[in-house]
Amino acid sequence: MKRKNPIIIPRPEHTLSRSMLSPNAVQALYRLKKQGFTAYLVGGCVRDLMLGREPKDFDLVTDATPGQVKRLFRNCRLVGRRFRLAHLHFEDEIIEVATFRAPEPDESAEVESLPSTATTADHGVSKPARPPRHLKSDEGVVLRDNIFGTPAQDALRRDFTVNAMYYDIGDFSLIDYCEGLDDLKRGVIRTIGPPAERFTEDPVRMLRAVRFAAMLGFIIEDATWSALVELSATITRGAPPRLYDEFLKLFLCGEGEKCYQLLRGSGLLKALLPGFNDWLERESEGFPHTRTSASLDWVDSRIQEGGKVAPQLLLALMFGEYLEEQGKGFRQSGTPLQQSLDMAVAGLLGELAGSVLIPYKVGMQLREILSSQHRFRKTAGKRPLSFISRPSFIESMDYFRFISATTGEGIESLRWWERFVMENPLPPESKMEKEQDTMTPGIPAKRSRRRRRPKKGLPQQSP
Ligand code: ATP
Ligand code: MG
C-alpha cells in the first residue's frame, strides 16, 4: 500500500473540477501558490467530491508553516496544540489550512522553532521553553503532532486511505499516495498502515472509521475492523472534549442509527457508556429496548431533510427511556418526581464524565427537556406563554412530538401546543439565541456583529 511515487491522475481522467470548490478555498489555494508554496485540497472534500457528495468543509494542506500562513492571510487564526493549524475565517465558512506533517520526530524538518527543551536566555531575559513538537503518552497516544514534512509523509500520517488524496491547484491533477482511489471505488474504509498502530496513536480514529462507514455506506476492511474491535476498550484514552465532539458528529451525520449499530457491534458503545450498554442488553418487562434506535431514525430523517437537531435534544432522545427508567427506580424508593429525574440525569452525566465530556449547559438543557414533559399534558394550565418562552421549549416540544408519534399518546395536547405556538410566535431574539445553540458541530456559528452597549452610569474608559 505505501508507495514512494504516487498515482497521479491528470485532469481529463477524473471528475473533480475547480467549479465544485468553495470560491474561498480556490482563492486561498491560489494565494498560497502565488507566494511560491505548494497548496493542495485534501481530505473529506476530495473524497466527497469524487463520490458526487457535497463536502461538509474544505481542508487545505501546504508547505507553508502556520506562521507563514498567518502572515499571508489577514483573516487567519492559529488553533490547536495537539495539531497546530490555521483557520481562515470567511463570512460563512472556515477553511482549515494544515502544514504537511512528518511521521516521526525529525529535527531536520524543524523550520520555525527554538530548541524544544531548554530555557533560552536572550539578553539576560529568560524565555519559557517551547513545548515539544512531537509527544506520545506512555500508552502510545500521540499528544502532539507538529513536525513538518513532505506531501508523501503527510499523506501517510492521515487516517484512512480515502481521506488522503490531494487535488493539486497547480495542474488540477489528483495525487494518490495510499491507493485511496481504489478503496473509494470499492467502498472500503481502511487505515493507512497497520490499523492497531494507527488506532493506538489516536483512538478517536475508531469513531471516525464508524462514522465514515455509516455516512458513505462503506464497509470497514477486515483487518481494520478486527483491530477496532480488539482496541475498542481503549477509546476512553481519547480526550473527553474531543470524544464529545466526535460523539455529536456520529449521531448528527444523518446516519446516526447505522453508527449506533456499528458502535454496539464493535464494543465501542460498551466502552464509552458501560451502564447504558448493560441496560440496552437487558430487557425491561420482557421487551427489548428499541426506542433508542427509533429515536436515532427520527434524528436521521430530520437531518436528511436539511433540519437541525440540538445536542440536548439528541441526548434526550437517545437516553430518554433509560433515564425515565432510572428515575422510576428512584421514585419507587420515595424520591419525588423531579428529584428522581435530576438524579437520573446526574447519574448519566457522571457515567459519561470520564469519556464523553458533556458541557454543563447542555446537561442542564437535557434535564429541562425531560422534566418539562409533564407540562405538555396540561394545556389549560397556568401561563402557557411563560412555558413557551423557556429556553429549551422548542426541543422539549420536539421530544414530546417524538414520544407521541411513537406511543400514540398525547396527540391532542401536541396539536394544542402547536396551535398555541403558531398564535404566539416567539420574539426574534430568543429565536436567534436558539439558532446559536442548535448549530451542528463542525459548522461554525456566524458571530453577531452587535456590540454591547456600555452600561449606563458607568464611566467610559479612555483609550
Ligand atoms: P468531514 O469533514 O466530512 O467530517 P474529513 O475527512 O474532512 O470528514 P476532517 O476532520 O475535516 O475530516 O479532517 C480532514 C482530514 O484530516 C481528514 O480527511 C484526514 O485526512 C485528516 N485527519 C483528520 N483527523 C485525523 C486523525 N485523527 N488522524 C489522522 N488524520 C486525520
Ligand atoms: Mg473535512
Residue 441: predicted pLDDT: 41
What's the 47 CA to ligand 2 centre distance in angstroms? 10
> Taking CB atoms and a 6 Å cutoff, what residues make up the pocket around ligand 1?
43-44, 56-57, 59, 158-159, 163-164, 202, 204-205
How far is the C-alpha of 9 from the C-alpha of 182, rounded, in Å? Answer: 12
What's the 252 CA to ligand 2 centre distance in angstroms? 15
Q: How far is CA 88 from the centre of its chain?
A: 19
Residue 369: predicted pLDDT: 94
Q: Which of 48, 59, 300, 398 is catalytic?
A: 59
Q: To 5 degrees, how large is the angle CA 252–CA 255–CA 260?
A: 90
How far is the C-alpha of 346 from the C-alpha of 352, rounded, in Å? Answer: 10
Ligand 1 pocket mutation pick from 59, 177, 246 by most atoms within 8 angstroms of CB:
59
3-state helix, strand, coil in the chain (%, to 5): 50, 10, 35
How far is the C-alpha of 198 from the C-alpha of 201, rounded, in Å? Answer: 5
Residue 266: predicted pLDDT: 97
Ligand 1 pocket mutation pick from 159, 177, 207 by most atoms within 8 angstroms of CB:
159
What's the 163 CA to ligand 1 centre distance in angstroms? 7
The x, y and z cell numbers of residue 167, run together, are 487535488
What residue's CA is closest to ligand 1, atom 12? 44
How far is the C-alpha of 276 from the C-alpha of 272, rounded, in Å? Answer: 9
Q: Is 168 a catalytic residue?
A: no
How far is the C-alpha of 328 from the C-alpha of 337, rounded, in Å? Answer: 8
Torsion of CA 259, 265, 267, 268, to 10 degrees: 0
Q: pTM (2 decimals)?
A: 0.85
Ligand 1 pocket mutation pick from 208, 211, 248, 443 by most atoms within 8 angstroms of CB:
208
Q: To 5 degrees, how large is the angle CA 62–CA 66–CA 70?
A: 105
Q: Is 159 a catalytic residue?
A: yes
Q: Is 92 a catalytic residue?
A: no
Residues of the chain with pLDDT under 70: 1-4, 104-131, 284-286, 379-382, 426-463
Angstrom distances, CA of residue 263 to CA of 213, 251, 252, 395: 11, 11, 14, 26
* HSE toward the beta carbon, residue 168, CA cutoff 13 A: 17
How far is the C-alpha of 177 from the C-alpha of 10, rounded, in Å? Answer: 14
Q: What are phi and psi of 98, to 5 degrees?
A: -100, 160
Question: Closest by alpha carbon to 236, among 351, 64, 122?
Answer: 351
How far is the C-alpha of 84 from the C-alpha of 243, rounded, in Å? Answer: 19
What residue's CA is closest to ligand 1, atom 24? 159
Question: Closest by alpha carbon to 29, among 96, 79, 85?
Answer: 96
Residue 114: predicted pLDDT: 33
> Quick one: which ligand is closest to 158's CA?
1
How far is the C-alpha of 409 from the C-alpha of 208, rounded, in Å? Answer: 38
What residue's CA is closest to ligand 1, atom 30? 158
* HSE toward the beta carbon, residue 253, CA cutoff 13 A: 25
Pairing of strands 85-89, 94-99: antiparallel
What's the 44 CA to ligand 2 centre distance in angstroms? 5
What residue's CA is closest to ligand 1, atom 13? 43
Residue 105: predicted pLDDT: 62
Q: Which of 48, 63, 154, 159 is catalytic?
A: 159
What residue's CA is closest to ligand 1, atom 16? 43
What ligand 1 atom has the least distance to the C-alpha of 158? 30
What's the 62 CA to ligand 1 centre distance in angstroms? 15
> Quick one: which ligand is closest to 192's CA?
1
What's the 277 CA to ligand 1 centre distance in angstroms? 28
What residue's CA is closest to ligand 1, atom 15? 43
The single residue listed with the C-alpha cell 508553516 is: 65
